[in-house]
Amino acid sequence: MANEIWVIVEQRDNKLKKVSFEILSQARKIADKIKAQVSAILMGYKVEGLANILGYYGAGQVFLCESDILKNYSNEGYSQIVADLAKEHQPLIILGPATAMGKDFLPKVAAKLNTGLASDCTFLDIDANGKLLLKKPIFAGKVIVDVSVSNSLQMASIRPNVLPISEPDESKQVQINKAEVKISTESIRAKVKEIIQSAKDKVDLTEAKVIVSGGRAMKSGDNFKILEELVGVLGESATVGASRAAVDSGFAPHDMQVGQTGKVVNPDLYIACGISGAIQHLAGMQTSKCIIAINKDPDAPIFQKANYGIVGDLFQVVPLLTQEIKKLKTEN
Amino acid sequence: MNVVVCLKQVPDTETKIQINPQKDGISDEGVKFVINPYDEYAIEQALRIKEKFGGEVTILCLGPDRATESIRTALAMGADKGVHLCDSAFEKLDSYATAKVLSKALKDIPFNIILLGKQAVDYDNSQVFSILAEMLNLPQVSVVIGLEISDDKTRLIAKREIEAGGLEVVESSLPAIIAAQKGLNEPRYASLPGIMKAKKKEIKKLALSDLGLSPDELKNKINMANFTFPPQRVAGKIIQGEAAEAVCELANLLHQEEKLI
């Protein structure tokens, strides 16, 4: 076995996802504890330019897998490449992101390698024997469990926005190993034909630093524009979310839903507007660092979880808050 | 066009979860069990495929005795028959072992497409669809919110959710495995005649030995232990006063105390 911890990094449109740096940073720390190397697996088309940056965050080497077959993501292509490489090089540990991509193909890699994948972990460390110490939320965060992989090759996927990113060290050199991509077009049966992006540069809920969410009390989809306006003054990493009640009432699309049958989020600031705080919603946002609740009903359960609450009409409070923050930002 | 829906019974999302005294699982007591919400979209889609192309919808469920009720609900919605994989050896299986049992059972069920939820809302692993696809050597599309099958029943086009509201349009050959996301459709309720008819529909029970599996083949690769509740948040400060005053104080708190803006 090679004394290596592998990190499968993720890029879309030749841009590395932040979660790649989060996992690399932590992988570097655990690798130091067991005196192992960190290798990054970079897949795509014409992505060699991204390899050096991976070195800054702790990768000693990069397995570069480039092919026009990899221009678009496919679970069959990506899983085959990682499994083939792992069979050849025998790493100790394989880590990857619990993103739309990672959730889709990492279990397949584990199955090909006949090992277990601890999925969607929010804690990652290692003991002196090289056994991964992992924690994972279940029931959308209502319960946390310790997870372990009983096979010698351990695999884990890590939730975005949880692990801290280390300061990049631009003096670090990285060794690039070009890996031959031995995949035929025919072996990919499920092919991406087109990618439809909704809003340009929209922040994903799972990666957002600030989320302003609306509930049933928003009364209509149009009214969400007051939340958009608040998001507009809260910086680039802010976005709008919604409760299940708002989604089921047709005020917002499902991809905006926060909670047990939506997204589990972990922002620095979560502003709940007109959300009562059903169990399934609280489960999805309770790890937010600071929660603000704005609700007419002083008995709404959301106030029990909020750092700060304002009992009042959101249609009055939210626009005032937008103005106030705008004022604060121009003053500073 | 024969469709198999893999169904799991899970605690209702509004249920308060209690951890058992051994801290290695949750307590079933007082828990309301329902069809995994994402599986409901899979059932609905299966019924729509059947309505368009004909064929049969089979519900394949791995779970304890109580799961019969959820299979019956799916039959009442319009599925044709159920297969219930029920054995004490099937308790607490990880995703790999679950997929292994399902894949064995699927050897005796004809299908053109397999539908299931993108994840079960209990253990949130979101792995079975992918491991099952690997074991059966089938293409997969996950987190699907749109599905069309070609008239000649050989291909499908699926829309799959990715980050930040984006979608991938994926084309695949059939047979294939589709993991459903909320938004795929609006699941129907069981009608009264549907409920009556469901009582007469067949639910075949299969145990470990019926599938030709040994307990050794189902050894978990993933182990969960030390079930704990996350740190409880304590209620913070309700900011009093008129809206304008309260907002002003809140903005200052966020700026000076929390350093968030």
Q: What is the mean pLDDT of residues A31-49?
A: 96
Which residue in B85, B88, B111, B115 sits closest to B100, CA to CA?
A: B85
Residue B3 clears pLDDT 90, i.e. is over it = yes
Cα gap A300→A319, rounded to integer Å: 21
Domain boundaries, chain B: 3-218, 232-261
Say whether A75 and B122 touch across the interface (CB within 8 A). Answer: no
Mean local confidence (pLDDT), A42-52: 96
Whether residue A32 contacts residue A65, with contact meaning beta carbons closer than 8 Å, is answered with: no
CB of B19 less than 8 A from some CB of A: yes
Q: Say which of A116, A298, A312 has its CB closest to residue B96.
A: A116
Question: Is B127 in contact with A120 (CB distance < 8 Å)?
Answer: no
B169 contact residues in A (CB cutoff 8 A): 192-196
Q: Both tokens of residue B101?
A: 């049992």
The superfamily CATH assigns to domain A4-187 is HUPs (3.40.50.620)
Q: Which of B121, B168, B173 sits opposite A189 (nearest CB)?
A: B173
CA distance A312 to chain B (A): 7
Are B229 and A142 a contacting pair at CB < 8 A? yes
Question: What is the structure's pLDDT at A229?
Answer: 97
Q: What average pLDDT does the structure give for chain A?
A: 95
Residue that the structure tokens 């249920």 belong to: B15
Same fold, A4-187 and A205-331: yes
Whether the CB of B216 is below 8 Å from some CB of chain A: the reply is: no
Residues facing A178 on adjacent strands = A64
A273 touches chain B (CB under 8 A): no
- Chain segment A228-264, per-residue pLDDT in tens: 999 999 988 999 999 999 999 999 999 999 998 899 9
Between positions 96 and 135 of B, the ones with CB within 8 A of A are: 96, 99, 121-127, 130-131, 133-135
Instruction: Decide if B142 touches A, using CB distance below 8 A.
Output: yes
> ipTM > 0.95?
no
What is the pLDDT at residue A329?
87
Cα-flanking dihedrals φ and ψ of residue A134, to 5°? -130, 150
Give per-residue pLDDT as tens, B101-137: 999 999 999 999 999 999 999 999 999 999 999 999 9
Of the candidate CATH numbers 3.40.50.1220, 2.40.30.10, 3.40.50.10710, 3.40.50.2300, the domain formed by A205-331 belongs to 3.40.50.1220
pLDDT at A203 over 90: no
Domain B3-218 has CATH 1.10.10.10: no
The structure tokens listed for A70 are 């990899």
Question: Which residue in A227, A318, A279, A298 sits closest to B238, CA to CA?
Answer: A298
Mean pLDDT of B155-169: 93
Angle between helices B128-136 and B95-106 (to 10 degrees): 40
Comparing CB atoms, the residue among B168, B221, B226 nearest residue A149 is B221
Residue with tokens 């489960």, as numbered in its chain: A283
Q: Tell me the chain B residues in contact with residue A115 when contact means C-beta distances shorter than 8 Å.
A: 221
Residue A145, pLDDT score: 98
As a 3-state breakdown, chain B gives helix, strand, coil percent values, each rounded to 5, of: 35, 25, 40
Dist CA A313 CA A316 (whole Å): 5
What radius of gyration, in Å, describes the C-alpha atoms of chain B?
Answer: 22
Q: pLDDT tens for residues B214-229?
A: 999 999 999 999 999 9
Single-letter amino acid code for the residue at A38: V
Domains in chain A: boundaries: 4-187, 205-331
Q: Per the structure block, which two tokens stand in for B106? A: 């699927």
Residues of A in contact with B98 (CB under 8 A): none
Give me the residues paired with residue B203 across strands. Answer: B82
- The whole-angstrom separation of Cα A21 and Cα B38 is 31
Nearest to B130 among A104, A255, A259 (CB): A104
d(CA B206, CA B83): 7
Average pLDDT of chain B is: 96
CB A17 within 8 A of CB A38: no
Distance in angstroms (rounded) separating the CA atoms of residues B59 and B82: 5
Contact assignment for B16 to A145 by CB distance below 8 Å? no
Tell whether the model's pLDDT for residue A52 goes beyond 70.
Answer: yes
pLDDT of B165 over the 90 cut:
no
Q: By the CB < 8 Å criterion, does B14 face chain A?
A: yes
Q: Peptide bond preceding B175: is omega within 30 degrees of 0, i.e. cis?
A: yes
Q: pLDDT value at position A331? A: 83
Which band of pLDDT confidence, cut at 50, 70 and 90, is reported for residue A199?
A: low
